[in-house]
Structure 1
Amino acid sequence: MNTNKNSYTIVYATVMVVIVAFLLAFVSSALKPTQDKNVALDKKKQILAALNVRGLNDAQDIESKYNECVMSDMIVKADGSVVAEGKSKENDGFKVENKNISANCLPVYICKVNGETKYVVPMTGRGLWGGLWGYMAINADLQTVYGAYFSHESETAGLGALIAEEKFQDQFKGKQLFANSNDSEIALTVVKNGKVEPEKKNYQVDGITGATLTSNGVANMIHDGLQQYIGYFSKTKK
């Protein structure tokens, strides 16, 4: 075969592309179980962070604590009706990806911390540069926040990215979901840093200086995310 011909170059390049594509597909397939396991482990770690259980890095410790705290991963609808009981802890609501959360598919994690019931719900939104997500842990009264966790795709380091830090998240502890106990509209929100109104301090949190759009994104995520669960909260209270 004449290796100087264009046909040889084309055939050679084609064969190499096919071989490389096959190898990449094989490697991806071989690594997928490990990748899926790591993704699931990170999700459990985030849920635990919302429950104020932090600092766990060992996989066995994370799994053990998750199994201890999470009783079920229910799926409910916006009207409060139950789609799945989630008794297996990670085969119902846990498997719902953020992009698939909707009025007819809302994950709820029923948890126990020191013998007290907590409800953890996921939230998604958008910041300045990309997606936001998080979890809010709510006390058994379904009125007050027990803990919160937020993260982001690509917010600015030292500014919007600070939503992922414990200092910002800790502000939500003990805050009220509603302005009044008989309300059905989420009042919990993030305002411009230093602009928390004294009469609204029970449900307002300081935003991040210099990151107004990210702070607004968190505020919208909290409102829109929690508002979907009002029907479930109302039914659970009765």
Structure 2
Amino acid sequence: MVNKKRNGNVYPIMYAALMVTLVAALLALASQGLKPRQLANIMAETQLTILRSVHLEDQPYEKYITDTVAGPQQLPLFICTLDDGTRKYIIPLEGKGLWGP
């Protein structure tokens, strides 16, 4: 009797729906649980990219870089002040560049 129920058309559909729901719930929980780490990694990568742009990869970010905004559009601007007082301005660019349509 049990084997007959599993060979019908409804059982595979119900099983697939249950598995999809369980996997989706697990992925949603994992995504929400890892969100703080994802944001911290994005911040660390951004800081490292900014330091690389002024050839200070091995230096502490807070010592050399100041975050600010510029213009009425409040665009991000990073100011690097070197030990000798020289200032370098880092302007982040986004877009497809030369390789986009």
TM-score (norm 2): 0.81
Question: 3-state SS of the aligned residue for 1:107?
Answer: strand
Alpha-carbon distance between aligned partners in 2 of 1:35 and 1:127, rounded to the nearest angstrom: 28
Comparing 35-44 and 108-117, the one that deviates more: 108-117
Alignment of 1:62-141 (within 5 A): 65-71=60-66, 73-77=67-71, 81=72, 104-114=73-83, 115-125=85-95, 126-128=97-99, 130=100
Greater strand content: 1
Point out where structure 2 has 5 or more consecutive residues left out of the alignment.
Answer: none
**2:78 is matched by which residue type in structure 1?**
Y
Query: Which of 35, 52, 57 is matched with 2:55 structurally?
Result: 52
The residue type paired with residue 7 of structure 1 is V
How far off is 1:109 after superposition? 1.1
* CA distance, structure 2, for counterparts of residue 9 and residue 123 of structure 1: 50
Alignment of 1:139-150 (within 5 A): none
**CA displacement, residues 71-93 of structure 1 (integer Å, 9 cap, x when unaligned):** 3x22222xxx5xxxxxxxxxxxx
Q: Which runs of 4+ in 1 moved over 3 A?
A: none
Matched, 1:5 2:41: no
Question: Which of 1 and 2 has higher RCO (CA within 8 Å, sep 6+)?
Answer: 1
Give aligned pairs, total.
96
- Separation in 1, partners of 2:15, 2:92: 50
Deviation at 1:53, TM superposition (A): 0.8
Gaps of 5+ in 1: 57-61, 82-103, 132-238
1:53-83 Cα offsets, whole Å, 9 max, x none, are: 12x4xxxxx6xx1100113x22222xxx5xx
Q: Residue by residue, what CA displacement relative to the aligned partner does 1:118-151 show, whole Å, maximum 9, x if unpaired?
A: 22111234222x59xxxxxxxxxxxxxxxxxxxx
Deviations 1:158-196, CA, capped at 9 Å, x for gaps? xxxxxxxxxxxxxxxxxxxxxxxxxxxxxxxxxxxxxxx
Q: Which has the larger radius of gyration?
A: 2
What displacement does 1:4 show? 1.1
Q: Identity rate of aligned residues, in percent?
A: 34
